[in-house]
């Protein structure tokens, strides 16, 4: 409910002087979460979050600085709205739950500076978290620019964090960073300095006693840059930071700008248990509504993909035909043809492959280099998507050839102009009926709701890194257990999972076969590009092939079973009346995970697939519909199918 206080005690709790005025509170529909917004004087706005009466987020700053917007040092609250119940219902086919209902309580604070310039601060509190954003209803004739966002998130001193550093712009292979592909620092004390001095990416996970908090942003359009958390967080206070000045398109802008009424992105704070984090869709709930698009274009599915095993030299006609046959044999809908296809195969032969694939019920996806001058990548096709004219010409050409979608790689960072480039691509691809997969990319921040043809985005240190480096292979088990609680919490993730046999590049995989099989369910992607070859699939039992042929392309529901980021993760996903439970052990010792199958209604039988006695082998058996202990090997996994 909505209340206005003038109590010294509450200001003391917030750590704010009571010399000035008022504060405002809004609770979640179930009453368990409460946000208090304190107006501690002119230019001083703070908020805090409590869960069940316990402080989760301490007094944290609000505000922005820029030109053409109210002067924040002069800002004061002019009025507060009545409480409004916000409800929304939507579908998304590329995530963990197809049908979603969002309801929250909304509070709007109307503010002015000394000149009369207006802005609003909008808070929405749902049972699973808090979202807030800023609104500027009347920018001046010259437009507005945001130079700095003051927003912060201040945690209690004993909180812990699971955070991924932001890579330095123009570092890494062919100057392709940042691409959200670093390893996580796990369970670090809040306030720990970020090592590269560039900040921390979203989603950022924190533990406050028994409560978990996941911070991200959503509702990002081409008028705002993508943000991150600053590298320094003294006293456990994390502040929003804008991108590096080099993260822009050629001649493009970095900072948020608009000459029209303007919303900032939502600051999204999911709050609850680990089950809340895994089951929440808050990062999509507040994202923009879906654009109009022909329904039969949006077809999630599975894909074969040669490059993950045989790399650049085998993007040739015969190899791609083999992988088309592989997809057809497995009942998968797509085959992805990767780098340099225009040079090694050519448009004419690609069209021939597309025709052949169509006879097999398989659609082709083609790789593109997004890059202009912001990196030095030489892969082709290159530069064909940089302008609206060339992009639409290319999309029209490949659509007429029967191509179903594009994978676009190596983006230039998080500046406003790069974000606009992503959106321009999505809008043009929608016009031509093409599916989209972004690689070497930013976190999508809810775009999969707004653009239903966005099937997936990389933005993760995925399986390709395992094929390059033994160090990455060694870290894969624990890294994979963090992803359901962070990167894959809301947005589809192109980890390219499931290598069941061996890595064909000389690296020794540390995970077991059942671990890899479990990632086909544990990780969510609109199109799942599997890291397995026809030769590798020929070595697995028929019941594993049958499982992968029958595996759903979309999910209707999700349920957290057990886990802890960095240790293990077990999640159940439902499609229709069938549940799939997937678990992985990220530690180098065996453990027993107990799954209570009795809580799943309408189930008649349960089939367990796990690691066999010998390395690389599977074991399959029927299990009873009660509390089921599963002994999981070191770096191992399991699947339970409930029918």
Q: How far apart are CA 55 and CA 559, in angstroms?
A: 27
Indicate the length of the chain as a whole number: 643
Q: Check residue 113 and give its pLDDT.
A: 96
Q: Are strands 144-149 and 64-67 parallel, antiparallel or unpaired?
A: antiparallel
At a CB cut-off of 8 Å and minimum separation 6, what does 389 contact?
A: none
Q: How far apart are CA 431 and CA 294, in angstroms?
A: 9
Would you place residue 13 in the very low, low, confident or very high pLDDT band (cuts 50, 70, 90)?
Answer: very low
How many beta carbons lie within 10 A of that of residue 21, not counting itself? Answer: 17
For 332, the token pair is: 């998968």
**Residue ranges of domains in the chain:** 3-285, 460-643
User: For residue 498, how many C-alpha atoms fall within 13 Å in the half-sphere facing its CB?
Assistant: 29
Query: What DSSP state is assigned to residue 19?
Result: T
For residue 592, is pLDDT > 90? yes
- For the domain 460-643, what is the CATH code? 3.20.20.70
How many beta carbons lie within 10 A of that of residue 186, not counting itself? Answer: 17
pTM of the model: 0.96
> pLDDT above 90 covers what percent of the chain?
93
- Please check whether the domain covering 3-285 is classified as CATH 3.30.1780.10: no
For 598, the token pair is: 């009795």
| Least-confidence region, from 3-7, 214-218, 380-384, 460-464 | 3-7
pLDDT tens digits, one per residue of 302-355: 999 999 999 999 999 999 999 999 999 999 999 999 999 999 999 999 999 999
Would you place residue 373 in the very low, low, confident or very high pLDDT band (cuts 50, 70, 90)?
Answer: confident
- The CA-based angle 251-255-257, given to 5 degrees, is 95
Query: What DSSP state is assigned to residue 360?
Result: T
- Token pair 């099937």 is found at 455
Buried (b) or exposed (e) across 133-151, using 16+ Cβ within 10 A? Answer: bbbbeebeeeebbbeebeb
Q: How far apart are CA 554 and CA 574, in angstroms?
A: 9
Q: Which secondary-structure segment (H or E) carries 271?
A: strand 266-272
Q: Are strands 76-80 and 64-67 parallel, antiparallel or unpaired?
A: unpaired
How many beta carbons lie within 10 A of that of residue 90, not counting itself? Answer: 16
Name the 3-class secondary structure at 550.
helix
Spatial contact of 247 and 201, defined as CB atoms under 8 Å apart:
no
- Token pair 């600085």 is found at 65
> pLDDT above 70 covers what percent of the chain?
97
Q: How far apart are CA 117 and CA 403, in angstroms?
A: 51
Would you place residue 504 in the very low, low, confident or very high pLDDT band (cuts 50, 70, 90)?
Answer: confident
- The CA-based angle 183-188-189, given to 5 degrees, is 150
Q: Check residue 17 and give its pLDDT.
A: 28
Q: What share of the chain is helix, strand, coil (3-state, %, to 5)?
A: 25, 35, 40
For residue 236, is pLDDT > 90? yes
How many beta carbons lie within 10 A of that of residue 18, not counting itself? Answer: 16
For residue 174, is pLDDT > 90? yes
End-to-end alpha-carbon separation of the chain, Å?
43
Would you place residue 505 in the very low, low, confident or very high pLDDT band (cuts 50, 70, 90)?
Answer: confident
- Residue closest to 67 by CA, chosen among 259, 266, 247: 259
Mean pLDDT, the chain, rounded, equals: 95
Spatial contact of 92 and 448, defined as CB atoms under 8 Å apart:
yes
How many beta carbons lie within 10 A of that of residue 616, not counting itself? Answer: 15
pLDDT tens digits, one per residue of 44-56: 999 999 999 999 9
Q: Are strands 405-409 and 578-585 parallel, antiparallel or unpaired?
A: unpaired
Q: How far apart are CA 515 and CA 587, in angstroms?
A: 12
C-alpha 493 chain-centroid distance:
6
Spatial contact of 33 and 130, defined as CB atoms under 8 Å apart:
yes
Query: What DSSP state is assigned to residue 598?
Result: G
Q: Check residue 4 and give its pLDDT.
A: 34
Q: How far apart are CA 258 and CA 143, in angstroms?
A: 6
For residue 197, is pLDDT > 50? yes
Spatial contact of 49 and 29, defined as CB atoms under 8 Å apart:
no
Would you place residue 25 in the very low, low, confident or very high pLDDT band (cuts 50, 70, 90)?
Answer: very high
For residue 356, is pLDDT > 90? yes
Q: How far apart are CA 270 and CA 573, in angstroms?
A: 20
Q: What average pLDDT does range 389-415 have in this prediction?
A: 98
- Residue closest to 268 by CA, chosen among 384, 407, 130, 403: 130
pLDDT tens digits, one per residue of 87-129: 999 999 999 999 999 999 999 999 999 999 999 999 999 999 9
| Least-confidence region, from 9-18, 392-401, 558-567 | 9-18
For residue 12, is pLDDT > 80? no
Name the 3-class secondary structure at 500.
coil
At a CB cut-off of 8 Å and minimum separation 6, what does 98 contact?
A: 91, 92, 554, 555, 556
């Amino acid at each position: 409910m909505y209340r206005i206080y003038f109590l010294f005690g509450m200001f003391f709790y917030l750590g704010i002087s009571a010399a000035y005025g008022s504060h405002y509170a809004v609770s979640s529909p179930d009453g368990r979460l409460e946000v208090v917004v304190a107006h501690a004087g002119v230019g001083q706005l703070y908020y805090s979050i409590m869960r069940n009466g316990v402080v989760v987020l301490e007094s944290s700053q609000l505000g922005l600085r820029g030109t053409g917007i109210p002067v924040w040092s002069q800002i004061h609250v002019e009025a507060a709205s009545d409480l409004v119940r916000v409800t929304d219902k939507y579908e998304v086919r590329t995530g963990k739950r197809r049908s979603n209902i969002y309801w929250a309580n909304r509070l709007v604070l109307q503010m002015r500076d000394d000149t009369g310039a207006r802005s609003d601060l909008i808070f929405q509190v749902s049972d699973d978290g808090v979202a807030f954003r800023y609104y500027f209803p009347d920018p001046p004739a010259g437009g507005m620019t945001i130079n700095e966002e003051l927003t912060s998130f201040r945690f209690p001193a004993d909180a812990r964090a699971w955070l991924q550093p932001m890579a330095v712009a123009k570092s890494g292979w062919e100057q392709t960073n940042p691409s959200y592909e670093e390893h996580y620092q796990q369970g670090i004390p809040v306030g720990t300095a970020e090592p590269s001095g560039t900040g921390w990416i979203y989603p950022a996970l924190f533990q406050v006693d028994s409560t978990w908090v996941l911070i991200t942003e959503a509702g990002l359009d081409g008028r705002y840059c993508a943000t991150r958390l600053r590298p320094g967080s003294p006293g456990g206070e994390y502040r929003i930071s804008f991108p590096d000045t080099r993260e822009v398109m050629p001649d493009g802008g970095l900072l948020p700008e608009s000459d029209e009424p303007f919303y900032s992105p939502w600051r999204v704070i999911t709050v609850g248990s680990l089950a809340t984090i895994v089951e929440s869709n808050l990062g999509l709930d507040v994202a923009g509504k879906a654009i109009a698009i022909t329904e039969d274009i949006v077809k999630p599915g599975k894909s074969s993909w040669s490059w993950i095993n045989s790399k650049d030299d085998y993007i040739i006609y015969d190899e791609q035909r083999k992988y088309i046959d592989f997809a057809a044999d497995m009942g998968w809908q797509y085959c992805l043809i990767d780098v340099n296809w225009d040079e090694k195969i050519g448009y004419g032969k690609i069209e021939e492959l597309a025709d052949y694939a169509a006879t097999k019920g398989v659609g082709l996806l083609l790789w593109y280099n997004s890059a202009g001058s912001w990196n030095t990548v030489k892969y082709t096709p290159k530069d064909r998507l940089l302008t609206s004219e060339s992009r639409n010409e290319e999309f029209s050409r490949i659509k007429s050839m029967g191509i179903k979608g594009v994978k676009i790689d190596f983006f230039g960072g998080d500046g406003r102009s790069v974000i606009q480039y992503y959106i321009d691509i999505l809008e043009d691809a929608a016009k031509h009926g093409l599916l989209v997969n972004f690689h070497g990319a930013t976190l999508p921040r809810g775009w999969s709701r707004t653009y239903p043809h966005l099937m997936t985005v990389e933005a993760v240190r995925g399986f390709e890194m395992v094929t390059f480096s033994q160090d990455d292979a060694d870290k894969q088990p624990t890294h994979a257990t963090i992803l359901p609680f962070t990167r894959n919490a809301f947005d589809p993730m192109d980890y390219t999972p499931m290598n069941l046999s061996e890595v064909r590049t000389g690296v020794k995989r540390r995970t077991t076969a059942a671990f890899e099989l479990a990632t086909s369910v544990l990780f969510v992607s609109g199109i799942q590009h599997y890291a397995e070859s026809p030769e590798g699939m020929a070595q697995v039992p028929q019941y594993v092939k049958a499982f992968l042929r029958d595996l759903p392309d979309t999910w209707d529901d999700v349920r957290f079973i057990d886990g802890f980021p960095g240790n293990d993760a077990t999640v159940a996903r439902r499609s229709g009346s069938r549940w799939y439970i997937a678990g992985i052990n990220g530690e180098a010792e065996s453990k027993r995970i107990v799954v209570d199958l009795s809580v799943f209604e309408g189930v008649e039988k349960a089939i367990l697939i796990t690691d066999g006695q010998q390395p690389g082998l599977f074991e399959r058996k029927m299990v009873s519909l009660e509390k089921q202990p599963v002994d999981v090997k070191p770096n191992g996994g399991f699947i339970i199918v409930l029918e």
